[in-house]
Amino acid sequence: MRVLFSLILSTLLVLLARGATAEVISYQQQIQPIFNQKCIACHACYDSPCQLNLGSSEGASRGAHKDSVYNGTRLKAQATTRIFVDAFGAEQWRDKGFYDVLAKNNQQAALMQQIIDLGAKNNQWQPNQLLPKNLDIGIYRANQCATQAEFASYAAKNPHGGMPFAVTGLTAEERQILSQWLNQGAPMDWQDWQPTAIEQQQILQWENLLNGRSLKQQLVGRWLYEHLFLAHIYFPEGETSHFFQWVRSRTPSGEPIDLIATRSPNEAVGTDFYYRLRPVADVLVHKTHITFELSAAKLARTQTLFFTPQWEVTQLPGYGAYHRSNPFAAFEAIPAEARYRFMLENAEYFVRNFIRGPVCRGQIATDVIRDQFWAMFQAPEHDLYITYPEYRQQVTALLDMPGQQDELLDLLGLWKVYKKKRNAYEELRQKAYAESELPDWSHIWQGNDNALLTIFRQHDSASVRKGLIGEIPQTLWLMDYPLLERTYYQLVVNFDVFGNVAHQAQTRLYFDLIRNGAEVNFLRLLPPKSRKKLLHGWYQKSGKLKMLMDYTQVDSHTETRLDLPKKQAKDAFAEQLLVRLSALNARPDRLNRCPDGQPCYRENVSVAQQQTDQLLSQLASRQAADLQLINFLPEATLLRVAYSDQPRETYSLLRNRAHSNVAFMMGESLRYQPKLDTLTLYPEVLSSYPNFIFNIPANEIADFVVQAQQVKTRNDFSQLTERWGIRRTHPDFWYYFHDAAEQIKQQQPREYGLLDMNRYENL
């Protein structure tokens, strides 16, 4: 009887095991969450290693490619490989050179299985240990994009090249689920989410606006599309997780979208089309999540701005090279004030576009800007391009931008042409403003909290926030409509991340001129005798050569009506700005600009948080010559403060690198001034790319600050990271890493997206 019972029990267990094995793994419910937790931090956007994007079933099915999107040396433009745009389904992606990572082949395990197994075998790190020094984890490392046939050789040469790479890996349960799914043939059960009824209603209203049939409506629709095509659109009454993007479709509203793929948003499509709002299908990642609200109030405001003024269109502009390079000519029929006010009232969005998008690795743009600066905008009623039609007509032809031609041999000649045009424009502008009313505080736009912005740069990435954060910066920008529109078109609409070296060089060189223009515009607000000295301070050493070769002379004669001292005029301006526009300053900052003898903390937080603010503020706005800790910190550090009786809070500690000038495409290290580096401390997650995390119990903050201020050597810094640091090998690395994004979700739910760990350092 006992033997029979054992036999029955064994049979039942076998049947249960077979049933468990036969259970089909759900991609949407089981696999994508694993990818979100352990993979997307590296495998999202264009900088995914081997272009393996795991943010959706489409990306996983697409597979990998040997060509890198980021290649600053390619002589010919590369074919575009934008997910959900350039191809759909595995077969179309195979035609574009992508190879399968999910399928078995000739009794060989799927490529994904093999690389996971390699990671499980060789990447078992000791808790919170430093990674081997010879393991290259930098973002510029050469990707080894092995196929199934090449994998054995790859594994032999790269024993630590398994996945997840150089970080705490998958759990046993996660590996089992992935293996079971791959053994089942990697079935996909992805179901796209559907807009709610109220979202569908609002989609129709906006699509009707952009798809009007009169010439005036068509021109406005095109302008709006070219300015919103990169946005993740949301409706305030809609679901918090629902976002949409504008596309051009062969089908009208109410029908399934039939996407028309073009290399740029201002390229001809060759057929009738409609502007449509399409749901964002892949997982949201913070580095590409550039949000824009479409509300009933914004719809009414847009209609008022563009259709209340009296204006006519007799002929629509074409999509040729000239109109693509010169939006001022293409859209000259639309009142310039309408265009500028739309951009001003949403300035953070537009600056975020060219600071953070459309690429995930932006050194082409970011190596031309300082690590921390403030931006303001010219008031429309004092912008001569808006108010002076004769001047506008005179300069419009000079505002076209390079990049439409990408022949390498023509690079120098093209650069000379566009530099000459830009400088001719600057000379006309300087003359016109010298003959107009003198500037005063009313010349700075003060329409809403987009009026004051702070931009941070971390080498090849950057971020922007409303408000004035950090100490008074070395430089400030004043952007007028021609500068704002040119920057947007040069770095967003017309920039091709798949372009060749000539295209990318033209973009970089012209943005250098734009930055110089924004700085010179700001100097016009200061006393004339202070301008040259300040400008020379911004363009030290080799920068002086650039001033002679490429830039126009600053106006050092025309007066200003701002009451500022000749000495320290820039700092005096900034101090008055903080007072005069305090109501528009979205982020008052007492941690970095703490008045002598005043408390250095926020007013609207708990006592415990105020105590933390006060202690951590001792690290803020210090130079490396005084605080040697800075020499060992990466560019974007997160300080996670854990409280026993309230939710944790994460601060950003940003290292602002100093340079003698930022005027050249290469040789940044030669212009670097490390002793002048400073720190900005702020109680938000300010970067999509954290370089390191410290987790500090609130009752140890005082110890952390004392020890941080005592750091003098690499060994001292290592003691800091040993005690409080979260290294890539920490057993709970993924918890702490994703918790930073969770703080964004709690503070600004619409801005939530997964962070990127490609730049997380081995400290």
Q: Are residues 258 and 371 in the same domain?
A: no
Let me know if residue 19 belongs to a domain. no
Lowest average pLDDT, out of 13-27, 126-140, 483-497, goes to: 13-27
Helices (H), 23-123: 32-38, 57-62, 90-95, 111-122
Q: Tell me, what's the pLDDT at 664?
A: 86
Strand-pairing partners, residue 246, are 277
Q: Tell me, what's the pLDDT at 16?
A: 42
DSSP sequence for 472-538: PPS-EEEE-HHHHHHHHIIIIIS--TT--HHHHHHHHHHHHHHHHHHHHHHHTTS-HHHHHHHHHHH
Q: Are residues 611 and 652 in the same domain?
A: yes
Let me know if residue 665 belongs to a domain. yes
Q: Are residues 644 and 532 in the same domain?
A: no
Q: Tell me, what's the pLDDT at 364?
A: 54
Q: Tell me, what's the pLDDT at 461?
A: 86
Q: Are residues 246 and 113 in the same domain?
A: no
Interstrand relation of 461-466 and 476-479 (parallel, antiparallel or unpaired): unpaired
Let me know if residue 230 belongs to a domain. yes
| Over residues 528-532, mean pLDDT | 96
Q: Are residues 442 and 518 in the same domain?
A: yes
Q: Are residues 451 and 577 in the same domain?
A: yes
What are the phi and psi torsion angles at 120 (to 5°)?
A: -65, -30
- What percentage of the chain reaches a pLDDT higher than 90? 85
Lowest average pLDDT, out of 17-26, 274-283, 327-336, goes to: 17-26
Q: Tell me, what's the pLDDT at 377?
A: 98
Could you read off the pLDDT of 723-746 as tens digits, one per residue? 999 999 999 999 999 999 999 999
Average pLDDT, the chain: 93
Let me know if residue 14 belongs to a domain. no
| Over residues 442-471, mean pLDDT | 95
- Domain boundary, last residue among 135, 167, 184: 184
Let me know if residue 342 belongs to a domain. no
**Alpha-carbon dihedral sign for residues 705, 710, 715, 719:** negative
Q: Are residues 598 and 745 in the same domain?
A: yes
> Is residue 721 within 8 Å of residue 763, measured between CB atoms?
yes
Q: Tell me, what's the pLDDT at 35?
A: 98
Q: Are residues 201 and 254 in the same domain?
A: yes
Q: Tell me, what's the pLDDT at 338?
A: 98
Segment (H or E) for 344: helix 336-344
Q: Tell me, what's the pLDDT at 498?
A: 92
Could you read off the pLDDT of 164-215 as tens digits, one per residue? 999 999 999 999 999 999 999 999 999 999 999 999 999 999 999 999 999 9
**Closest-CA residue to 252 (of 233, 269, 276):** 276
Could you read off the pLDDT of 27-64 as tens digits, one per residue? 999 999 999 999 999 999 888 999 999 999 999 999 99
In this model, does residue 18 exceed pLDDT 80?
no
Let me know if residue 254 belongs to a domain. yes
Q: Tell me, what's the pLDDT at 10?
A: 45
Q: Which pTM was predicted?
A: 0.94
Q: Are residues 355 and 293 in the same domain?
A: no
Let me know if residue 514 belongs to a domain. yes
Place of tokens 């820039």: 570
Distance CA 619, CA 639 (A): 12
- Domain boundary, last residue among 141, 158, 184: 184
Could you read off the pLDDT of 668-715 as tens digits, one per residue? 889 999 999 999 999 999 999 999 999 999 999 999 999 999 999 999
Range of the domain at 737: 592-751
Residues whose CB is less than 8 angstroms from the CB of residue 125 and which lie 6 or more positions away in sequence, other chains included: 131, 168, 729
- What percentage of the chain reaches a pLDDT higher than 70? 96
Q: Are residues 55 and 178 in the same domain?
A: yes
Q: Tell me, what's the pLDDT at 308?
A: 96
Give 19: exposed, middle or buried? Use CB within 10 Å, 0-12, 13-18, 19+.
exposed
Residue 407 per-residue DSSP state:
-
Could you read off the pLDDT of 211-246 as tens digits, one per residue? 999 999 999 999 999 999 999 999 999 999 999 999
Tokens of 462: 């950057």
What are the phi and psi torsion angles at 222 (to 5°)?
A: -65, -45
Residues whose CB is less than 8 angstroms from the CB of residue 470 and which lie 6 or more positions away in sequence, other chains included: 372, 454, 589, 592, 593, 621, 654, 656, 680, 682
Let me know if residue 246 belongs to a domain. yes
Q: Tell me, what's the pLDDT at 46?
A: 87
Lowest average pLDDT, out of 21-30, 236-245, 440-449, goes to: 21-30
Could you read off the pLDDT of 603-661 as tens digits, one per residue? 999 999 999 999 999 999 899 999 999 999 999 999 999 999 999 999 999 999 999 99
Using 50, 70 and 90 to split pLDDT, how confident is the model at 359? low
Distance CA 678, CA 622 (A): 5
Q: Are residues 493 and 554 in the same domain?
A: yes
Q: Tell me, what's the pLDDT at 326?
A: 97
| Over residues 534-548, mean pLDDT | 93
CA torsion 441-444-449-453 (nearest 10°) is: -110
Q: Are residues 356 and 491 in the same domain?
A: yes
In this model, does residue 577 exceed pLDDT 80?
yes
- Domain boundary, last residue among 569, 588, 607: 588
In this model, does residue 19 exceed pLDDT 60?
no
Could you read off the pLDDT of 82-96 as tens digits, one per residue? 999 999 999 999 999
Q: Give the three-class secondary structure for 91.
A: helix
> Is residue 126 within 8 Å of residue 136, measured between CB atoms?
no
Distance CA 731, CA 758 (A): 18
Domain tally for the chain? Answer: 4
Q: Tell me, what's the pLDDT at 365?
A: 62
Task: Return the ∠ at Cα 211 (arms to 209 and 217), rounded to 5°.
Answer: 70
> Is residue 632 within 8 Å of residue 346, measured between CB atoms?
no
Euclidean distance between the first and the last CA atom of the chain, given in angstroms as a whole number: 64
> Is residue 24 within 8 Å of residue 186, measured between CB atoms?
no
Could you read off the pLDDT of 750-761 as tens digits, one per residue? 999 999 999 999
